Structure 1
Amino acid sequence: MTISVGISACVLGQNVRFDGGHKQNRFVVDELSRYFNFKPVCPEVGIGMTIPRRAIRLLQLPSGDERLVDSKENEIDFTVQMKEFADQQIAHFDDLRGYVVCAKSPTCGMERVKLHIDNGNTVPGGSVGVYTRELMAKMPWLPVEEDGRLQDPVLRENFVFRVFSLNDFYQSLGEARSYDAFVKFHSRYKLVLMAHCPTAYKEMGRMVASIKDWDVDSFYYEYRQQFMDAIKNRASRKNKTNVLMHLQGYFKRSLTKDQKQELAALIMSYREGNQPILAPLALINHYLKEYPDPYLQLQTFLNPYPEELKLRYGL
């Protein structure tokens, strides 16, 4: 319960929606709340709206500007109030490691929020909720995900992993911003970067190699953004297979011929989609206990978050 994560209050189960209801997410409440300290915010209640209340919507003006207005009376405009509220809240979000927002909400939605125009139609592709747009613009490194998208096992795993990784970043580098600390952190995440974004793996490797050419604080902010951008990419099965084969190489002098064949077969089975990644990883972790390797034992890729979350079962 030490990892602070922001959340739309309705997603946590609070009855703050316009109709007096909620949108409680069971995964959030039953699973993530065991590891995350959720900090609920309802932006609409935050700017003084009542419960229940009239619905609001996003309206695109002829100029292209987007406004947050009453669903029946466009003249009742909450845009300025909502942006000011968002800025006030974000000023106190330094301790957050992620944020779960309510899908489709004109204040909190992260994508494809209905964007209306005066003739009654909607703009294809929609938009972003006013509050969440401000949040993502001012904290672009912060993992943000919608409650509905957490039903997708790949998106769910990626979001939770990013939250744990950002927390690790702050614990490792928040105060001890030494060159040595950066090198150690980056070393632990090399295989993660290889799996999520091979291009970033190479570019950030060069960046860390030239770390002494940087001011340490400038490096901190640049590295944080590049790191979080890289791991936002979903690790493909192909990339993860390459990482597994890379791991396999560390045991080539320790394993028997049959053991090597068994591990190779598991990796290929995973690559073809017949096994979850847990199958080859379990064998690799077994061999790592039998044949310890200091570098591999520190690799976050092998144990990125508590296994009780069961996030890799379908990956």
Structure 2
Amino acid sequence: MKILPRQTRIPVGISQCAMGDPVRYNGGHKHSKVCTELLARCFEYVPLCPEVAIGLGVPRKPIHLLVDKASADVDAVRVVGVDDPSVDVTDQLRDYADSEVPQLEKIRGYIFMQNSPSCGLRGVRRYLDNGHGIDSEGVGVFARRIQQHFPHLPMEEVGRLNNNELRENFLTRVFAYDAWFRYVEGEGEGEGKEVAEAESEPVAEKRPSRIARIIEFYTAYKYLLMAHNQDATRALGRLLADSKAMPEDELAFAVRGRIMQILSRPASRKDRTNALMHSQGHLKEYLNKEEKAELQQLIEEYRVGHKPLSAVLTMLRHYLPRSPHAFIHSQVLLAAEPAELGLCDFH
């Protein structure tokens, strides 16, 4: 199985204020050019503002997260008015998140506004009923509900996407999550192409079973996963090898979850170098002495930080047609990375 790039933009949820819409409590916005001018090249946004959606209006009185003690669980919070604590919109925000689930089933990532009592993903300030800030351990109630509905969905905060490494990691996760649904679950444009190819084959050889597609997906992502976490990737391989007794849905959920967890750890130069050397190993017998030395030297120059990853990938792709083996041709690691797509440098 070779995972091809999506030909249309990927649907991604986003906090509406990041689009430049004046929906914040003070009548302003938090426009993100990274989101609207850079990532919009590959994302089709689904903008939502839960606070406006539940009728709080613009402008509106500010709200914050209330807890009864510092050790309170992440879900043991209320969203109340700063000036009037009797205004409690906790259940309304959760109910709104529940109501949006059908629409959000199609998204492949979500970009939330940081520090928001409804949309913040991490580090949201929590307060005691006397108005004193107690900690920054909160998660926005709407964002938390979306996490519970879609536990593997790639999520990030608007502000963190200004960092090239974090942006690249988010893009990698969104691409993988989208590819999972296109290839494993047969949703979207990938299904049409696969079915079209299958129609020319004998009936018995048509579309592989879902379990076979799960294994094929892991195989295609293996070296990219190794670039993020070698030990976890090997553990996932063992899970698949011993999965015959697992129900199909349980296996799919577990594998998808582990893949997204592995990819959430940014790839290190050391682990990427290891994955590149594995890729080189599949090509060595098809290269002459000078070509092998040149490729090995380029990988070493990447390892020490003297050459970009794109230089190594370009050379590996140059030699790729020489190998007849499907495994190395399927590797997502060798496909265009976010940086090569022009999605990581923004000024």
Give me the TM-score of the superposition, normalised by structure 2.
0.84
AA at the equivalent of 2:45: F
1:172 equivalenced with 2:183 (yes/no): yes
Q: Which amino acid aligns with 2:210?
A: S
Write out per-residue CA displacement over residues 104-139 of structure 1, whole angstroms, 9 at most, x where no aligned residue. 111101111121224443233331111111111221
Contact 1:270–1:276 (8 Å) recurs in 2: yes
Task: For residue 253 of structure 1, give the secondary structure of its aligned residue in structure 2.
Answer: helix
Summarize the Cα distance change of 1:56–1:243 in structure 2 as closer, same or farther, 3 Å threshold: same
* More moved, 65-74 vs 239-248: 65-74
Using CA pairs below 8 Å that are at least 6 residues apart, which structure has the higher relative contact order? 2
What residue number does 1:35 align with?
A: 42
Deviations 1:218-240, CA, capped at 9 Å, x for gaps: 21222221221121111111110
Corresponding residue SS for 2:138: coil
Alignment match of 2:79 (pick from 64, 68, 92): 68
| 2:197 match | none
Within 5 Å, which residues of 2 pair with 1:208-247? 208-247=240-279
For residues 61-80 of structure 1, the C-alpha deviation after alignment (integer angstroms, 9 at most, x for no partner) is 24844221112122211111
Distance 2:345 2:58 in 1: 40
In the other structure, the counterpart of 1:255 is: 287
Tell me, yes or no, if the aligned pair for 2:9 and 2:41 is still in contact at 8 Å: no
Does the 8 Å CA contact 1:143/1:159 hold for their aligned counterparts? yes
State the one-letter code of the partner of 2:122. E
Partner of 2:223: 191
Could you tell me which runs of 5 or more consecutive residues in structure 1 were left unpaired when the two chains were aligned: none
Contact map agreement 1:114 1:123 (CA 8 A) in 2: yes
> Which whole-Å deviations, capped at 9, do the CAs of 1:3-34 have from their partners, x for residues lacking one?
22111111122221112221121121112222
Aligned-residue offset at 1:255: 2.3
How many pairs align? 314
Consecutive unaligned residues in structure 2, runs of 5 or more: 1-7, 187-206
Instruction: Find the residue that maps to 1:295 and give its secondary structure.
Output: helix
Q: Give the distance between the partners of 2:102 and 2:147, measured in 1 at CA.
A: 13
User: Is 2:90 the partner of 1:58?
Assistant: no
| TM-score (norm: length of structure 1) | 0.92
RMSD (CA atoms): 2.2
% identical equivalent positions: 37
Q: Does 1:78 align with 2:72?
A: no
Distance 1:69 1:309 in 2: 43
Question: What does residue 6 of structure 1 align with?
Answer: 13
CA distance in 2, matches of 1:5, 1:243: 29
- Paired position in structure 1 for 2:196: none
Q: Give the distance between the partners of 1:164 and 1:258, measured in 2 at CA.
A: 36
Determine which of 289, 292, 303 is the counterpart of 1:271. Answer: 303
